[in-house]
Structure 1
């Protein structure tokens, strides 16, 4: 890696290399040497920007958590449009079709990494916790519009959806589950919450509430 390269660029190259190793070979293969070899740089580059390897991994997870903001924004834009089941299906496929499942496996497998991540994610599993919060905010907005029942417990329904989605995608090799399969599971999970409100119903107050919670 050329000297003088921007720190942010070096970090992103190392993060991307770590993801490739993680997806290809699994958490047990993720070492500092594997990352720098994959990135095509000297091992010292990683330690120049991070205190140690667990610090690097913690920053990798936090960086990927920030990318959930885009998914949350996309879900926000869907409030009051289409169907609730379709919107949730798209979100789960986007979330678990990415590197998220592999990162969850990484976090579960490393005690020191979980300890460090407690500073930013005090409870639950990082990435899944933040994704659950985004879905809960979406469901709250849809509940305000009347598209799901007024008595729906969104704080229970959201983790149920995340858990079901994770079970579909976890520990799979090759082709991920088809959209129809994910949709079938989503429909089953939310069946008791749906109402007969028309799919085009919209409402500014609900959208504003969603934005405040997502931030």
Structure 2
């Protein structure tokens, strides 16, 4: 990209480029050079918008966490199994699994995110909190047993989904595989 040319929404373009590199090549390949090359920008563009590469990655993760609230998880709508299947498929077929790997791979990123978000695995923890809130609402509606252990159910659903989607080489599991896991976990 020529110097002096205004770039529309460079941050979003850099985030999208990072996501493509992360999904295609994994966390070990995610460098500032790979991101700017993927975006078609000079390397300096990234450093003009972020203090350093870990600052960029921190903002990327926070941006992807914010997107979780856009996913459908409406109590009382559809069946509990189908709603959870849709939500978990949307979360884990996105960049979530790759971001969890990235956070595990990069110590400085993990430290920065813990300073901002607290303990836990960012993105997975937020997805678990959304699932827990949904399960609580469904229990309140009488669609789950009153004695359902929501903490264990939520963590099991998130962990089971992560395991189903974690193998990048085999591709995403079928919707039926996710539904079977959800059906097995729910009381």
- TM-score interval, smaller chain: over 0.9
The CA RMSD over aligned residues, in Å, is 1.2
Please give the secondary structure, in 2, of the residue aligned with 1:82. coil
Counterpart among 92, 98, 101 of residue 97 in structure 2 = 101
Q: Deviations over 1:96-151 (max 9, x none)?
A: 11111111110110000000001332111010000000000100100001110111
The 5 Å alignment of 1:57-206 reads: 57-71=57-71, 74-76=72-74, 79-190=75-186, 192=187
1:23 aligns with 2:23: yes
| Corresponding residue number in structure 2 for 1:4 | 6
Q: Which runs of 5+ in 1 are unaligned?
A: 193-215
Tell me, in whole angstroms, the C-alpha distance in 2 between the residues paired with 1:89 and 1:37.
36
Q: For residue 176 of structure 1, report the CA deviation from its aligned partner.
A: 1.1
TM-score by length of 2: 0.95
Higher RCO structure, 1 or 2 (CA under 8 Å, sep 6+): 1
CA distance in 2, matches of 1:174, 1:3: 41
Runs of 4+ in 1 over 6 A off after TM superposition: none
Query: What residue in structure 2 maps to residue 48 of structure 1?
Result: 48
Give the deviation of 1:42 after TM superposition.
0.7
Distance in 2 between the 1:174 and 1:38 partners? 24
What are the superposed Cα offsets for residues 167-210 of structure 1, whole Å, 9 maximum, x if unpaired?
000023253111111111111111x2xxxxxxxxxxxxxxxxxx
| Aligned counterparts of 2:89 and 2:48: Cα–Cα separation in 1 | 36
Tell me the equivalent position of 2:33. 33
Distance between the aligned counterparts of 1:171 and 1:60, measured in 2?
22
Take 1:151 and 1:37, find their aligned partners in 2: how far apart are those partners? 53
Give the structure with higher Rg (CA): 1
Gaps of 5+ in 2: none
**TM-fit CA distance, 1:4:** 3.2
Equivalents in 2 of 1:33, 1:131: separation in Å?
Answer: 30
Match of 1:199 in 2: none
Deviates more, 1:149-158 or 1:22-31: 149-158
